[in-house]
Amino acid sequence: MKFICEKSMLQEAISNVQKAITGKSTMPVLQGILLDARNGELTLIGSDIDLSIEAKITADVIEDGSVVLDSKLFGEIIRKLPNSAVEISSDENNSIKIVCQKSYATIIHMDSEDYPSLPDIIENMVFSISQKLLKNMMKGTIFAVAQDETRPILTGVLFEIKNKKLNLVALDGYRVAFRSEPVDNDSSINAVIPGKTLSEVSKILEETDEVVNITFTPNHILFNLGKTKVISRLLEGEFIKYSSIIPEEYNLKITAKRSELLNCIERASLMAKEGNTNLVKFNIEEDNMIITSNSQLGKAREEINIILQGEPLQIAFNSKYLIELLKIMDEEEIVMEFSSGVNPCVVRNKEKDNCTYMVLPVRIRATNN
């Protein structure tokens, strides 16, 4: 094997495929990156079986061949090279030679025949969406996936296409995050993608209107970004029927400025670090809302102007959950709907109906004992 390519392109490709290499596999070959050089192209693959990422870059291939190189070491060597052409070639004793300007290194390689082959996915049922839009939808849901493995299905995000809409849904038992955008697709698709996969895909997606092509199979999903492909196994099982969880009716509705509310909750929550409740209390009155937090550390009180429709109410929340959702919402004015002090609160944009968030309250009486 022998090829020459640009250091910057190689470094970016390595960075992308490394996102799939978790180190959790017992197979030593999966700690490595597969390099395959042929037909004027270098293909790099990183995988942990559940998630695989493939990147292709242009290369001057002098001799075809493939090897597996230790991901961390190879990545570090390339990153620290000068910005110039890099020549990589087979050397004796199971090693490869890396030359860039006056830098020279050799590393031991593993046998590419031991590297597991990627799932064979026929890209015939493709659905396309702009990278920028999908990245934004992922950001708007991924924070709410369950971290607890006791219900594996909840560690993923539901990807649902129905009625010409793409819906992304995540929930962890304390909150629900729902994002929806119209798509020109008549298919009906229901798949649950591991949160880890979406987290890595969102890092690769760019803030561009260029599309990403998505293919679903019964067990896998493929994201095709042209030069980069991400293949992930889907989670097995039925996702919770989220539409039956989100309340449609409310007794009380407030409209508030998102950034102002976020700042108030963040300041109040500084006192709420004690225990893990991060408890902040809302006292909703006619035209303002008082946010308080008490602990052995001290007390905080914030006041914010609101528009109220309905009766006054007292309710308490884990501030972490409200902060996370307010940070990723993009409209300046938001609406919060309440039905009582013990029922979930629903948060939406005031204008654009493309997201719904639900947060369970904390029972105040139980926390005061």
Give the mean pLDDT of 245-270. Answer: 95
Q: Domain 2-114 - what CATH class?
A: alpha beta
pLDDT at 58 over 50: yes
Banded pLDDT at 93 (limits 50, 70, 90): confident
Which whole-number Å values give the CA distances from 7 to 72, 79, 104, in the listed order? Answer: 16, 8, 14
* Same CATH fold assignment for domains 2-114 and 126-243: yes
Banded pLDDT at 275 (limits 50, 70, 90): low
Burial class (CB in 10 A: 0-12, 13-18, 19+), 128: middle
C-alpha neighbours within 13 Å on the C-beta side of residue 273 = 6
Banded pLDDT at 369 (limits 50, 70, 90): very low
pLDDT at 277 over 80: no
- The pTM assigned to this predicted structure is 0.91
CATH 3.40.50.2000 fits 247-368, yes or no: no
Which pLDDT belongs to residue 71? 97
Mean pLDDT of the chain: 94
pLDDT at 368 over 50: no
Q: Do 70 and 105 meet the contact criterion of CB atoms below 8 Å apart?
A: no
pLDDT at 149 over 80: yes
CATH dotted code for 126-243 = 3.10.150.10
pLDDT tens string 171-195: 999 999 999 999 988 889 999 999 9
Q: Where are the domains of the chain?
A: 2-114, 126-243, 247-368
